[in-house]
Structures are given as C-alpha cells and as structure tokens.
Amino acid sequence: MYTEVPSAPLDIQVDDVTRDSCTVTWFPPASDGGTPVVGYHVEQRLISMPTTTWVHVGSTIVGTSFRVLGLLDGQTYQFRVTAETRAGLDDPSPASAAVTARDPWKRPGPPTMPQVSDVNE
C-alpha cells in the first residue's frame, strides 16, 4: 500500500492570549495521504527577531489545539502546525496571524482627587 505525507493543517488560529501563553487551534489536513494522522507538531517564531527561525513548542499532539506557555510579555509571535502520519511529516501550515503576548485587560488608572462631603463638626 502506497502512502504519502499528509497535506498541511488548515486555518491556524490563536486565541486566549495572555502575557505568557496562548492557545493555538487548527483543522486537520484535507488529505491524510492514505494513513491516519498520529499527531501534530506546533512551532512558534518571535517576529521581532531578525531571523525567521521556527522553534518547536509541542510535538506529537493529539487533538487540534495546544496551549503554548512561556511567551514573553509584549513580544509578537506567529505559529504554524505540521501533521504527522506513518509516512512522515507534511510541510508546515501557513503561519498564523501575528499576535502579541499581553493580558487582555488593562491596569486601572490612578484614582481621581478625593472629594470631601458630609463634614460634621
């Protein structure tokens, strides 16, 4: 039986972004190449770096989502996913949209000048 490597996973999305983590989700590849997908590999790259080096952050992931930990607050990242079958690894998916690691809430501003009311003698 002849098998090929799978096609790339589809529609890479990044959600639940905080200052040090995010969740990467995707859809399975359109073609598994004739043998079932046994796992996925997730890579990230730091956009502010002068090179385009991709770094593995998760391997042989079962399912179509992965929580990435260890992001640097204020840094911008992209992610991509590769499917794995018995025939090997496919080419990586296209890169996700760029996301910046930061908490989704803002710090409160300083308090306003206190007002005095109801003064009793």
pLDDT reported for residue 41: 95
Give the CATH number of the domain where residue 52 resides.
Answer: 2.60.40.10
Instruction: For residue 121, tell me if it sits in a domain.
Output: no
Q: Say what the alpha-carbon torsion angle 110, 115, 118, 120 is, to the nearest 10 degrees.
A: 100
Instruction: For residue 38, tell me if it sits in a domain.
Output: yes
pLDDT reported for residue 3: 66
Number of helices and strands in the chain (H, E) = 0, 8
Write out pLDDT tens, residues 69-120.
999 999 999 999 999 988 888 889 999 999 999 988 777 778 887 877 777 7
Write out pLDDT tens, residues 4-54.
778 889 999 999 999 999 999 999 998 888 888 999 999 999 997 777 799
pLDDT reported for residue 15: 96
How high is the mean pLDDT of the chain?
A: 88
pLDDT reported for residue 28: 92
For residue 1, pLDDT over 60 is answered with no
Instruction: For residue 112, tell me if it sits in a domain.
Output: no
Name the amino acid, one letter, at 4.
E
CB 11 within 8 A of CB 94: no
Tokens encoding 42? 């997730």
pLDDT reported for residue 49: 73
Report the first-to-last Cα separation within the chain, whole angstroms. 96
Secondary structure letter of residue 46 according to DSSP:
E
Q: 29: domain range? A: 10-100
Instruction: For residue 114, tell me if it sits in a domain.
Output: no
Domain count, the chain: 1
What is the number of residues in the chain? 121
